[in-house]
């Protein structure tokens, strides 16, 4: 192992001790250090960082890849003064894709399609309930997939989401109809002794956690059947179920005449966002929400005129 690899291990340990998971960053930094080793380089330079960031992947990720190296380089300057911190602004910033907001009919079709795609075993019902929970609770994919059996308290009607994207845990209250749907799934799941002994709420046929690749494959099949995705083009994502939940919640508050600014922190907490600005983003990501915000602002101006 090269000295730079050893320094990387130290960097990852320190950052994780501060609560950062760094799953994607670790993969990127190991690739970068291997890139340097292949060139016989022992000191990080801006030229090497830019060359690595712009290689192998498409332009959409160049900025974030360089940002990952920049943080690592800042750490390295503490022990290697020759380290160069790559400048920002070399690559255009990565833009968040505008979310696709599913209609009620599309979500109903998604849930109806899962059992039809998987006629044997409980896989179809598992995927149906899995996607249904994402849609009604706004969970991240990993949060639902990693949900432990004992963290789904259906008697109290709450989920405990532990150690999420930013190392935080939170409680998610569920609607009575969601509780009933999940309870029905539990009864079917626990009829199989192997599944009943599994540690995850959503399990595969052998009681293990969900195979993420299979879940994504089934979702992609549905999007093509629903004509939301052309064969060779990208389309709506599973993560857009979470976006749909957020946008619909905000729209519901606007329609009900709620003080959205006052209630926004509650949605931030519910969704597990670290900063309020992450939730505010939905106001600009949805044209309908932006229009509601504009009308509220105009009304305030008229009231003070």
Side-chain half-sphere exposure of 222, counting CA atoms within 13 A: 26
Note the Cα 45 to chain centre separation in Å. Answer: 32
Active site residue 217: no
Q: What is the pLDDT of residue 115?
A: 94
- Both structure tokens of 242: 């979470």
Residue with tokens 């639902």: 144
Q: What is the pLDDT of residue 304?
A: 53
Catalytic residue of the set 39, 98, 165, 300: 165
Q: What is the pLDDT of residue 167?
A: 66
Q: In what order do the strands lie in the sheet with 152-153?
A: 152-153, 158-161, 170-173
Active site residue 5: no
Q: What is the pLDDT of residue 300?
A: 54
Q: What is the pLDDT of residue 84?
A: 94
CA angle centred on 273, ends 275 and 183, rounded to 5°? 160
Classify burial at 78, counting beta carbons within 10 Å of its beta carbon; exposed 0-12, middle 13-18, buried 19 or more: exposed
Spell out, as residue ranges, where the chain has pLDDT lower than 70: 1, 94, 165-167, 231-233, 292-305
Catalytic residue of the set 242, 243, 248, 292: 242
Active site residue 273: yes
Active site residue 140: yes
Q: What is the pLDDT of residue 298?
A: 55
Catalytic residue of the set 5, 70, 225, 239: 239
Cα–Cα dist 100/226, whole Å? 14
Mean pLDDT of the chain: 87
Cα–Cα dist 183/185, whole Å? 5
Catalytic residue of the set 11, 91, 102, 282: 282
Contact, 73 vs 33, CB < 8 A? no
Note the Cα 57 to chain centre separation in Å. Answer: 20
Catalytic residue of the set 11, 91, 102, 140: 140
What pTM, to 2 d.p., does this model score?
Answer: 0.73
């Amino acid at each position: 192992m090269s000295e730079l690899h050893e320094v990387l291990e130290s960097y990852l340990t320190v950052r994780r001790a501060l609560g950062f998971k760094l799953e994607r960053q670790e993969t990127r930094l190991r690739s970068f250090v291997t890139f340097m080793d292949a060139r016989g380089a022992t000191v990080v330079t801006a030229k090497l960082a830019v060359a690595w960031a712009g290689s192998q992947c498409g332009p959409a990720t160049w900025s974030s890849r360089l940002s990952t190296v920049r943080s690592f380089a800042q750490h390295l300057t503490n022990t290697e003064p020759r380290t160069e911190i790559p400048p920002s602004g070399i690559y255009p910033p990565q833009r968040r894709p505008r979310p696709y907001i599913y209609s009620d009919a599309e979500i109903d079709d998604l849930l109806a399609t899962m059992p039809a795609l998987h006629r044997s075993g409980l896989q179809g019902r598992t995927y149906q309930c899995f996607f249904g929970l994402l849609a009604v609770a706004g969970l991240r994919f990993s949060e639902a997939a990693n949900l432990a059996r004992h963290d789904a308290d259906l008697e109290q009607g709450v989920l405990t989401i532990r150690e999420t994207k930013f190392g935080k845990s939170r409680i998610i209250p569920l609607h009575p109809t969601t509780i009933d749907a999940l309870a029905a799934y539990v009864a079917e799941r626990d009829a199989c002794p192997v599944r009943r002994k599994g540690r995850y709420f959503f399990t595969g046929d052998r009681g293990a956690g969900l195979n993420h690749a299979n879940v994504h494959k089934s979702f992609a099949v549905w999007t093509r059947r629903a004509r939301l995705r052309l064969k060779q083009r990208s389309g709506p994502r599973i993560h857009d179920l979470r976006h749909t939940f957020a946008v619909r919640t905000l729209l519901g508050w606007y329609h009900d005449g709620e003080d959205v600014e006052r209630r926004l922190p509650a949605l931030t907490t519910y969704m597990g966002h670290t900063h309020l600005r992450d939730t505010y983003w939905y106001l600009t990501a949805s044209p309908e929400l932006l229009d509601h915000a504009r009308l509220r602002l105009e009304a305030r101006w008229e009231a003070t005129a």
